């Protein structure tokens, strides 16, 4: 899952939201020790969500439908495509507008800037420049983001050419997302209940 989905799945918990964003920039268990407990839990939840997504039968089936050339990068493409679907259907999953949520995320990061890794700062500068997260509603922006990700990978990749296969894959993304997202929401509720019986 990509940034917007991780933020949504934190369900308003600021520690889980912050950890959900930091999660892509922290490796190993030792690195967790520098963060306060609520943020550590958010990073651990981020990893749990990523594992559940990778092992989902729905997502595995979706990946098998990719043209061979793009299959190696299907996980990246699906993550961003699901953020696109979430942005389009925000009202189905969260109270309030995506625009308001976008502002709240910026406020959260500003209030906790001493905890934010440089990589996340750089991403948020990029996000501000391109109007993310609300701009994920636009297919052109989504494709541009994927192309940008491709430039940061060390090996040659086809992420700058996802537009070639997007029309074929987009209906599959829509169906898979609507099937998968309630499933991962339920998994996260179970995870939180098991680790925090009072809420």
In this prediction, residue 195 carries a pLDDT of 65
pLDDT of residue 194: 85
CA distance 169 to 6: 23
Name which residue leads in pLDDT, 115 or 30: 115
Q: Taking the complete model, does pTM exceed 0.95, yes or no?
A: no
What pLDDT does residue 196 have? 54
In tens, the pLDDT along 106-137 reads 999 999 999 999 999 999 999 999 889 999 99
Residue 44, token pair as written in the block: 């651990």
Report CA-CA distances (Å) from 162 to 17, 63, 71, 166.
Answer: 29, 14, 11, 6
Residues 62 and 37: beta-carbon distance below 8 Å: no
Token pair 């905890």 is found at 115
Whole-number mean pLDDT of the chain?
94
CB neighbours of residue 124 within 10 Å: 18
First to last CA, the chain: 24
Structure confidence by residue, pLDDT tens digits, 64-94: 999 999 999 999 999 999 999 999 999 999 9
Question: With 90 as the cut, is the pLDDT of residue 32 above it?
Answer: no
pLDDT in tens, 139-168: 999 999 999 999 999 999 999 999 999 999
What residues have CB less than 8 Å from 54, skipping those under 6 apart?
75
CA neighbor of 135 nearest in space, from 82, 80, 78, 84 = 84
pLDDT of residue 33: 87
pLDDT, position 198: 39
Other Cβ atoms closer than 10 A to 50: 16
């Amino acid at each position: 899952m990509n940034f917007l989905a991780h933020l949504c799945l934190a369900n308003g918990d600021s520690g889980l939201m912050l950890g959900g964003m930091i999660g892509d920039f922290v490796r190993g268990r030792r690195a967790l020790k520098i963060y306060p407990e609520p943020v550590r839990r958010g990073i651990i939840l981020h990893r749990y969500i990523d594992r559940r997504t990778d092992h989902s039968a729905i997502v595995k089936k979706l990946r098998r439908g990719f043209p061979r050339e793009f299959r190696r990068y299907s996980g990246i493409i699906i993550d961003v495509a699901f953020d696109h679907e979430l942005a389009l259907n925000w009202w189905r999953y969260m109270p309030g507008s995506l625009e308001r949520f976008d502002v709240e995320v910026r406020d959260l990061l500003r209030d906790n800037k001493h905890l934010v890794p440089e990589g996340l700062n750089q991403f948020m500068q990029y996000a501000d420049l391109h109007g993310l997260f609300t701009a994920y509603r636009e297919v052109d922006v989504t494709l541009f983001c994927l192309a940008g990700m491709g430039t940061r990978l060390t090996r040659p990749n086809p992420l700058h050419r996802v537009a070639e296969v997007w029309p074929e894959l987009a209906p599959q993304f829509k169906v898979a997302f609507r099937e998968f997202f309630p499933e991962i929401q339920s998994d996260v509720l179970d995870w939180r209940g098991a680790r925090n019986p009072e809420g």
